[in-house]
Amino acid sequence: MPTRIDARFAALRAEGRAALVTFVMAGDPDLETSLEILKALPGAGADLIEVGMPFTDPMADGPAIQAAGLRALRAGTTLKKTLKLVADFRAFDQTTPIVLMGYYNPIYVFGVEAFLAAALDAGVDGLIVVDLPPEEDAELCLPARAAGLNFIRLATPTTDDKRLPKVLENTSGFVYYVSLTGITGAALADYSGVAAAVKRIKSHTNLPVAVGFGVKNAASAAVIAANADGVVVGSALVSAIKDSLDAEDRAGPGTASSVASLVAAIAEGVRSARRLRPQSVSPLKKLFDAFAKVWS
């Protein structure tokens, strides 16, 4: 049975544009503000939302997302409260796909069977669990898929053609291509390799390919959207949240609106790329330079 993720990518494919996938940490800087931010994202232009599950040892995350997780944990955010946050969002929005992203330890402690039941009840559509390799699919991936959740995997520049089929074997929803090696929040210096990487992954799968890491603004989003099925932005949004807080990391009246404003600008970049998809627009650097002038 198709999930909200499948339906959203199908609709955007018919529309002829890429998806904007936004990441925010559950409970950052507090649960009330976090819900306000989530509610603002679809109206600002987010097509799918990744919700981070706060964890004390986020080994793949850079300083911005690590700090967001710590703020959320200090605010009392737990996995149970993260699921409640999704359920509260679902009372407001029944159509925007929600993907929980994080690490396996909190799920393991919660209990896989109980977690999957609670996630479905809350309205979660998919999972990204970065520290469970395909060799451990029986732990969570296969039960999640059997329960009706998409299980989304990461591919990286070091995932070669020999490894890729194993990574994709039980992947569903979409493939998340991490466009650089390293931690979240790092800058992508060269966008020219993204198109080739997406093409290579698509030679192995019919799933949509969303590209993340290094997306900071409308210009970088537009370049990626010209070649990928989705653009993922996370650290830039988390940094916008941080910049809106006071010296004691408390939310202000403009916290949610500051995030929404950045999402709206990036969404415009993603949507503008639809008009620039034809092969006549080349090379890729010329496209990037044009958008950089507009949104610099």
What's the confidence (pLDDT) of residue 97? 98
What's the confidence (pLDDT) of residue 169? 95
What's the confidence (pLDDT) of residue 41? 98
Ordered DSSP codes for the chain: ---HHHHHHHHHHHHT-PEEEEEEETTSS-HHHHHHHHHHHHHHT-SEEEEE---S--TT--HHHHHHHHHHHHTT--HHHHHHHHHHHHHH-SSS-EEEEE-HHHHHHH-HHHHHHHHHHHT--EEEETT--GGGTTTTHHHHHHHT-EE-EEE-TT--TTTHHHHHTT--S-EEEE-SSS-TT------HHHHHHHHHHHTT-SS-EEEESS--SHHHHHHHHTTSSEEEE-HHHHHHHHHTS-TTS---TTHHHHHHHHHHHHHHHHHHHGGG-STTS--HHHHHHHHHHHH-
What's the confidence (pLDDT) of residue 284? 46
What's the confidence (pLDDT) of residue 179? 78
Task: Say how far apart CA 125 and CA 215 lie, in whole Å.
Answer: 24
Active site residues: 50, 61
What's the confidence (pLDDT) of residue 240? 95
Of 268, 193, 190, whose CA–CA distance to 18 is shortest?
268
What's the confidence (pLDDT) of residue 31? 98
Q: Give the pLDDT means over successive 10-residue stretches in the chain (296 positions).
A: 94 96 98 98 98 90 91 97 98 98 97 98 97 95 98 93 95 91 49 86 96 88 93 95 95 95 96 60 46 45
Task: Say how far apart CA 120 and CA 147 lie, in whole Å.
Answer: 8
Query: Could you tell me if residue 148 is left (phi over 0), alpha (psi between -120 and 50 degrees) or otherwise beta?
Result: left
What is the architecture of the domain spanning 4-295? Alpha-Beta Barrel (3.20)
What's the confidence (pLDDT) of residue 283? 43
What's the confidence (pLDDT) of residue 190? 58
